Amino acid sequence: MGIDAYEVGVETDMGSGLPGVNIVGLPDMAIKESKDRIRAAIKNSGFSFPSKKITINLAPADIRKEGAWLDLPIALSILCSEGLIEPSAVTDMVFCGELSLDGKLKPMKGVLPIAMSIRTMGKNKLLLPHENSKEAATVNDISVYGLNSLKETVDFLNRKIEISPREPIEYYEFKKNVRHRMDFSDVKGQEHVKRGLEVAASGGHNVLLIGPPGSGKSMLAKRLVTVLSEMTLTESLETSKIHSVAGLISPNKCLITARPFRSPHHTISYAALVGGGTNPAPGEISLAHNGVLFLDELPEFKRDALEVLRQPLEEGRITISRISDTLTYPCKFMLVAAMNPCPCGYFTDPKRQCRCTPFQIQRYLSKISGPLLDRIDIHIEVPRLNLETITEKRRGESSESIRKRVDSARAIQKDRYKNDGILFNAHLESKELERYCLFDKESEELLKLAILELGISARAYDKILRISRTIADLEGSATIEAHHVSEAISYRSLDRNLWG
């Protein structure tokens, strides 16, 4: 249910009457159809299917069950009722798996949340398809048995064969294989944009990149994950649970150890972006949990899709309400958006002439609402590169060296906010801003001048304080100085130019 698993007890009663199988307890269509699949699997595994009136109850009866993962426990319950398996053999075990007609066990999705929750059920053994055993073995303190067929499962429960539990897989075994194909050293020029992204990564700030086509906005955004801090085990498990429920974890890679980067197309619907459907599934914002959500060509997205981002950006979670269920998925992500400054893209390009009218430009920019723009701290203009920069052979600074500075700044924030429930400077509210953003006299005068001369709004003022705090943390400074404020003001270009 969402990304959390709950226990389902399978009960079977053999009675007199016309032979048949009746499944009760709010099963969906996949479970209702399973009786014919289970009948064939039992017969093809060498067992006889009882010619009796069989009633199967799925408890608790008030929660809807869906999917074919109940095939194995239903089949085992029928065999237990026939005396082919001792009931005592299954008392401390949890079973899940889909059966094929020949009795083979087929892999399923959502295994990691099940493995993480069986300890709360008072059980310590999990039997499931062999293909899913590696994913489940990432959870410590439980015994995971990977099985290939119904016949093998029955023989194991009857102690006719010995099967050893899967060896636990430590987190570092996955973590050591994390490699990024892309690096910031691949990007020529755009040093001020790299610096802006470094500040954003350090303070958890959302970013908007503005520039003409071909200036490298997408290239820069895709490399942001390479400078973010490495995932902790808790973050990895949270992200992996979401991907497991969505069926996006491969058998060879059972934990998400690299921060996700999601880049949906601008034609995406709001339901696919935030999650939903008849049976609510996680959307792109949840799949980007603990990573980066990149929205290229921001004004081209549908207005309703952009507006539903406002609450998740503030709260870090999304609640999806449907007739069948109300589910909450986590979605703490960094938003990185890219856009052209006008419909043709050349409004700010000194080399190309813009052919858009002022009305067209204003209408194009107004597709992004003020409340959404309010949640984006940093605005960076990305200019077109000149010929000398494109043809130079010198490589830029590597992602690894940038990440060291980001890690240092994040460590300062973690220590500063350890008693406030805050992770990054981007999450500071008004009270925390007054407490933690300490200015010297020169920086205060600069802020006043910016408000008077540049027309900085109250909304932009708070953003500048947060960005200034992050820039100071990158330098290890407890006090915000004038050059920190000056750099922070430069990252609010939309307040001064386009939207101003």
How confident is the prediction along the chain (500 residues), in pLDDT tens digits per residue? 888 888 999 999 998 888 999 999 989 888 888 999 999 999 999 999 999 999 999 999 888 888 889 999 999 999 999 999 988 888 889 999 999 999 999 999 889 999 988 878 888 899 999 999 988 888 888 999 999 999 999 999 999 999 999 888 776 656 665 667 788 888 888 889 999 999 999 999 999 999 888 888 999 999 999 999 988 888 988 999 999 988 888 777 778 888 999 999 999 998 899 987 777 889 999 999 999 999 999 999 999 899 999 889 988 899 888 776 788 899 999 999 999 988 998 887 888 888 899 899 888 888 888 888 888 999 999 988 777 776 777 777 899 999 999 999 999 999 999 888 888 999 888 888 888 888 888 888 888 887 777 777 777 788 889 999 999 999 998 888 899 989 998 888 676 554 44
- Answer whether residue 24 is part of any domain: yes
- Answer whether residue 143 is part of any domain: yes
- How far CA 495 is from CA of 82, 167, 374, in Å, comes to 75, 56, 11
- Answer whether residue 179 is part of any domain: no
365 and 225 assigned to the same domain: yes
Domain boundary among 360, 393, 426: 393
- Answer whether residue 67 is part of any domain: yes
The Cβ-side half-sphere exposure at 195, using a 13 Å CA radius, reads: 14
79 and 142 assigned to the same domain: yes
Domain boundary among 365, 393, 421: 393
Cβ proximity of 198 and 238 under 8 Å: no
CATH number at residue 52: 3.30.230.10
Domain residues for the domain of 314 are 184-393
Please give the pLDDT value at position 346.
86
Prediction pTM value: 0.86
CATH number at residue 326: 3.40.50.300
The percent helix, strand, coil of the chain (3-state, each to 5) is: 40, 15, 40
Measured distance CA(442)–CA(485) in Å, rounded: 10
> How many domains does the structure of the chain reveal?
2
Structure tokens at 468: 């200034």
> In 316-440, which ranges are continuous DSSP H helix?
358-365, 370-373, 387-391, 399-416, 430-436
- Answer whether residue 447 is part of any domain: no
Tell me which residue of 404, 464, 455, 456 sits closest to 428, measured CA to CA: 464
- Answer whether residue 38 is part of any domain: yes
79 and 200 assigned to the same domain: no
- Answer whether residue 159 is part of any domain: yes
142 and 239 assigned to the same domain: no
State the sign of the Cα–Cα–Cα–Cα dihedral 239, 244, 245, 248: positive
Domain boundary among 393, 419, 450: 393
Measured distance CA(500)–CA(379) in Å, rounded: 13
Cβ proximity of 466 and 205 under 8 Å: yes
42 CB contacts (<8 Å, ≥6 apart)? 48, 49, 75, 78, 79, 103, 150
- Answer whether residue 472 is part of any domain: no
44 and 135 assigned to the same domain: yes
- Give the H or E element holding residue 458: helix 458-474
Measured distance CA(140)–CA(304) in Å, rounded: 42
219 and 159 assigned to the same domain: no
Measured distance CA(427)–CA(433) in Å, rounded: 10
Task: Tally Cβ neighbours within 10 Å of residue 114.
Answer: 24
φ/ψ of residue 255, rounded to 5: -130, 140
196 and 161 assigned to the same domain: no
